[in-house]
Amino acid sequence: MMKTTEKIFRTAAAAVLALSGLLLTNAKVSAQSVGFNTRTSAEIDWKIVKGLHLSAGYELRTKNSLAGVERHQASVGIEYKVCNYFKVGGEYIFIGHFNSANTFRPRHRFSLNLTGQYDTGNWKFSLREKLQLTHYAYDLNEFQDVPNALQLKSRFTVKYQGFRHIEPFVYVELRNIFNAPKCSATWSETSAAYQFLGYSHAYLNRVRTAAGFDWNITRAHSIEFTLMYNWVHSLEIDTNKEGTELKSLYWKTKHEFPLCVGYKFSF
């Protein structure tokens, strides 16, 4: 049994690393665009009645190369299992983010989750759609950053539940933004022509792949280990505060490798 489990873990990890390596090989990546960081979290899940759960959690994220704290975040959520194939939920997250200059920049995030799931034998398949609105509660340049970002995350997960305490899983997640800033200019050092067109730019701005496992120590205590790869793609706009002068306009791609460990207490 243990040899089979180890083989599954190694195969899943190898698949994620191979995919990450393929993407990195086909992209022109600078040292500044690749980062490794960690995420540690703790969560409490309270079953109020059958099918209805309340949750609360805390997460700490480090900056790339473990160069300090990137964010603290606290969350509260609710989820209801409508039937064996469908769940609905909502969540609020307070994000205490620190930028590269270590300036504190708080955010408020609200989300609605819809999840369809199907079990066949020991295999569980699920598709989660998460619509989220993030309010940036600090002073920003509204001609280059949207104050209230509307995004959709679509995650497809496959989990194996044939072992007694260990549940390996893999997933892929796509994130789309619907209201990024838009402009009409093609930037050059000598060009002053620029027009802000509002918040109508929609595009795929992140692809995430992950492999990991849940370790169900007891019915109440579990730990989740996950290795992620994030491909993040965004249009970087730099303007003056008045929105009349465009300083730069370019697409930026980042490659991130978060290692995540999370504890969960259920009652």
Tens-digit pLDDT profile for residues 189-229: 666 678 899 999 999 999 999 999 999 999 999 999 999 99
CA distance 184 to 28: 27
Query: What are all long-range contacts of 131-138, with beta carbons under 8 Å and residues at least 24 apart?
Result: 133/109, 134/95, 134/107, 134/108, 134/109, 135/107, 135/108, 135/109, 136/105, 136/107, 137/106, 137/107, 137/108, 138/105, 138/106
Q: Which superfamily is assigned to 2-266 in CATH? A: monomeric porin ompg (2.40.160.40)
Q: How many CA atoms lie within 13 A of 239 on its CB side?
A: 26
Per-residue confidence (pLDDT) for residue 25, from 0 to 100: 47
Q: Where do the domains of the chain lie?
A: 2-266
Q: What are phi and psi of 10, to 5 degrees?
A: -65, -40
Kindly state the helix (H) or strand (E) to which residue 19 belongs, with its residue range: helix 2-25
Per-residue confidence (pLDDT) for residue 245, from 0 to 100: 86
Model confidence pLDDT, tens digit, residues 73-112: 999 999 999 999 999 999 999 999 999 899 999 999 999 9
Query: What is the rounded average pLDDT of the residues 113-128?
Result: 97
Model confidence pLDDT, tens digit, residues 164-199: 999 999 999 999 999 999 998 766 666 667 889 999
Residue that has been written with the tokens 């509260």 in this structure = 76
251 pLDDT above the threshold of 50: yes
What's the first-to-final CA gap in the chain, in angstroms?
A: 29
Q: With 0-12 CB in 10 A as exposed, 13-18 as middle and 19+ as buried, what is 142?
A: middle
Q: How many CB atoms lie within 10 A of CB 28?
A: 7
Per-residue confidence (pLDDT) for residue 5, from 0 to 100: 40
Model confidence pLDDT, tens digit, residues 133-168: 999 999 999 999 999 999 999 999 999 999 999 999
Q: Higher model confidence: residue 42 or residue 189?
A: 42
121 residue type, one letter: G
The pair of three-digit structure tokens given for residue 262, joined into one six-digit string: 């999370």
Q: How confident is the model at residue 29 (pLDDT cuts 50, 70, 90)?
A: very low
**pTM exceeds cut of 0.95:** no
CA distance 253 to 234: 7
247 pLDDT above the threshold of 50: yes
